[in-house]
Structure 1
Amino acid sequence: MSGQPITIDPFLHLNISLNPNGTITRLRDDPHVSPSLNPNLSIPVLTKHVPINQSHNTSARIFLPRKPHDHSSFHKLPLIVYFHGGGFIFFSAASVFLHDLCLNLANDVNSIVVSVDYRLAPEHRLPSAYDDAVEALHWIKRQSDDWLINYADYSNCYIMGGSAGANIAYHAGLRVAAEIDLNPLKIRGLILSQPFFGGTQRVPSELKLINDAVLPPNACDLMWELSLPVGVDRDHEYCNPTAGDGPGVLDRVGKLGWRVLVSGCEGDPLMDHQMALARLMEEKGVSVVSCFVEGGYHGVEVRDLIRQKQLHDLIKDFISL
């Protein structure tokens, strides 16, 4: 346990300011990159951006490895539906480092990746992002895009996310497991990279890293305050997976035969929450592959290309089982 004082201002750390109407001004730089769908370019992965729900301004960026184009006969590729991180309040599928991550994921794992743009908080508080995630799965189910029709194996789909995106992937997965028919889309499992969960009680990994340079716990608190429904605390089921109906739905996840990959590292203040989630799923009969490594920091699997490649190798093995 740590008794050190908290020295970090979460608003300064996140580089945001709160507006009187409850929205925020995002002051950090978030450069975007355009998709590249020209097959004449010498690039390993083609990309394009397509709308999902124009009234909500939601969309998807699709990543297609060039390998299918290089042969007259090929097997359809696994489909990974990806949700980006950013504490529910930052970034998009077009953010440069997230675009690059999905491009590398598609290339390394030889899979179709659909990176979903969902509505951000606090302008759109949870469960808006979960609603958008499920809507995206229905959009994919309808096979309304030619790349998906021609190259994606709808019987081999995984829902994946990083950080807050892993939280979205988890809750979208629970909704699907509970009551949603996505046929012909068949979900095989979840891939949760450094999932963003918490609670009102500090866990040892948070206390140890109370002034963490990357993700101090009080910055997490602020992101939850901006993202959760007004009037609830961090023991709400959206933040704390042991609360609400989630544990009961996990029984259904186990019966469906889904497999779940959970990855993290000891340099992440959220590691103990992530390990507790993995244990909870195992207790409910879910087949879980956990990979927690030394060192690192929150977001290392996005920013560090060596760690990213290690994660992608892990995902490739996980999907091939």
Structure 2
Amino acid sequence: MASITKEIEMEILPFIRIYKDGSFDRLANSPIVPPSLDPDLETGVSSKDIVISQDLPISARLYLPKLDQTHLQKLPILVYFHGGGFFFESAFSHDHHRYLNSLVAQAQAVAVSVEYRLAPEHLLPIAYEDCWAALQWVASNSINSTTGSDCQEPWLNHADFKRLFIGGDSAGANIVHNMAMRAGVESLPGEVKILGAFLTHPYFWGSDAISGSEMDQPSASHTIMNKAVPNFVWNFVYPSAPGGIDNAMINPTFPGSPSLAGLGCSRLLVTLAEMDVMRGRGVAYYDAVRKSSWEGEAELVQVNGEDHAFHILHVYNQSAKDLIKRLASFLK
């Protein structure tokens, strides 16, 4: 009897397995869950899925908190980019859906969680282009809003486009940085400006040693990812990146990278986890922003005893609840 076992080409465990025939298995995805127009029983948040672009294609999950019918004030708007190393997870996953329900309820914000295309089917920089197109689409709704007309997307009629935020976790936080840098150079429709950006456990890496960084982390057996994974993942999702692991999109503090003074937002919040192997990179990024001539307001929050993406994976833990509360406060 012939063997039906496929030969393995490479693995990034516990995330993905690639076979020599070109097929692959994503091993770490949380289940996809549907949205719910009926308010979530725990948070009161409603959600729905929309298509942003048929051509690219790009979709998103929208979240709307329970509205006080007696005080229909405009709400801040959050454009969110999910994590997953650019090659797994989804805006429609159980983990991110549960997390955004909680964040939207506490922040009393409208959220647009972007479903961008993933590697290896779509290598970077495609995800960056998808997310920029999504951000442009959100901002374009402001044009109708300022003329007194309804937005293209009805739920965005509740949004205050003067309070536009972007946020993300892990690879999504990397996207946040790169969207903010691009917004510092290219304008958004309707002259919309990004008020604030939050980066939770940002995926930054590089060949240069970071003082007080990776060498101080616990052993790989105690962390979600060991020190080899961030480098390996970047080469996997963006093999043609100019400069490789020192490309400015993954290593924004590398000499010769564009000045962080160009960040196109007014407020910045960087949140890190003590056990995260990439924590030191986040500290170095925050320090570099502070030392640049950027004129905004930056804040750093570090959570002891926790690992990468703990607030997504363990949303009911007290430390996760505290962090989500802090992010909600930032959006308010």
Q: Normalized against structure 1, the TM-score is what?
A: 0.87
**Conserved? CA contact 1:205–1:270, under 8 Å:** yes
Query: Could you tell which deviates more after superposition, 44-53 or 234-243?
Result: 234-243
How far apart are the structure 2 equivalents of 1:40 and 1:239? 36
Residue 156 of structure 2 corresponds to residue 166 of structure 1: no
**Conserved? CA contact 2:223–2:275, under 8 Å:** no
**Conserved? CA contact 1:282–1:288, under 8 Å:** yes
How far apart are the structure 1 equivalents of 2:168 and 2:184? 17
How far apart are the structure 2 equivalents of 1:178 and 1:19? 41
Listed as ranges, the matches of 1:1-321 within 5 Å are 11=11, 13-20=13-20, 24-38=24-38, 44-66=44-66, 68=67, 70-143=68-141, 144-149=152-157, 151-201=158-208, 203=210, 204-207=212-215, 208-211=217-220, 212-230=222-240, 232-243=243-254, 246-248=257-259, 250-253=260-263, 258-286=266-294, 287-304=297-314, 305=316, 306-320=318-332
Query: Structure 1 or 2: larger helix share?
Result: 1
**Deviation of residue 23 (structure 1)?**
6.4
**Deviation of residue 56 (structure 1)?**
3.0
**Number of equivalences:** 305
How far apart are the structure 2 equivalents of 1:201 and 1:39? 48
**Deviation of residue 192 (structure 1)?**
0.5
> In 2 relative to 1, CA 39–97 (structure 1 residues): closer, same or farther, beyond 3 Å?
closer
Letter in 1 for 2:116: Y
Query: Could you tell which deviates more after superposition, 47-56 or 15-24?
Result: 15-24
How far apart are the structure 1 equivalents of 2:202 and 2:219? 18
Q: Secondary structure at the residue paired with 2:122?
A: coil
How far apart are the structure 2 equivalents of 1:226 and 1:12? 9
Letter in 1 for 2:320: Q
> In 2 relative to 1, CA 141–15 (structure 1 residues): closer, same or farther, beyond 3 Å?
closer
> In 2 relative to 1, CA 32–145 (structure 1 residues): closer, same or farther, beyond 3 Å?
same
> In 2 relative to 1, CA 307–43 (structure 1 residues): closer, same or farther, beyond 3 Å?
closer
Query: Could you tell which deviates more after superposition, 73-82 or 222-231?
Result: 222-231
> In 2 relative to 1, CA 167–283 (structure 1 residues): closer, same or farther, beyond 3 Å?
same
* 1:209-265 CA distance string (max 9 Å, x none): 3414311122222211111242642111121012477532x2233xx6611000002
Q: Secondary structure at the residue paired with 2:223?
A: coil
Q: Secondary structure at the residue paired with 2:138?
A: helix
How far apart are the structure 2 equivalents of 1:153 and 1:308? 27
**Conserved? CA contact 1:65–1:106, under 8 Å:** yes
How far apart are the structure 1 equivalents of 2:202 and 2:245? 15
Letter in 1 for 2:25: T
Q: Secondary structure at the residue paired with 1:178?
A: coil
Q: Secondary structure at the residue paired with 1:135?
A: helix
**Deviation of residue 274 (structure 1)?**
0.2
* 1:84-135 CA distance string (max 9 Å, x none): 0001111111110011111111001111111001111122222111111110
* 1:262-317 CA distance string (max 9 Å, x none): 00021111010000000111111332110112110001121233233212222233
Query: Could you tell which deviates more after superposition, 14-23 or 111-120?
Result: 14-23
Q: Normalized against structure 2, the TM-score is what?
A: 0.84
**Conserved? CA contact 2:30–2:95, under 8 Å:** no
How far apart are the structure 1 equivalents of 2:255 and 2:196? 22
How far apart are the structure 2 equivalents of 1:42 and 1:206? 39
Letter in 2 for 1:45: V
How far apart are the structure 2 equivalents of 1:265 and 1:54? 38
**Conserved? CA contact 1:23–1:122, under 8 Å:** no
Unaligned runs of 5+ in 1: 1-9
**Conserved? CA contact 2:83–2:169, under 8 Å:** yes
How far apart are the structure 2 equivalents of 1:114 and 1:40? 17
Q: Secondary structure at the residue paired with 2:284?
A: helix
**Conserved? CA contact 2:193–2:265, under 8 Å:** no
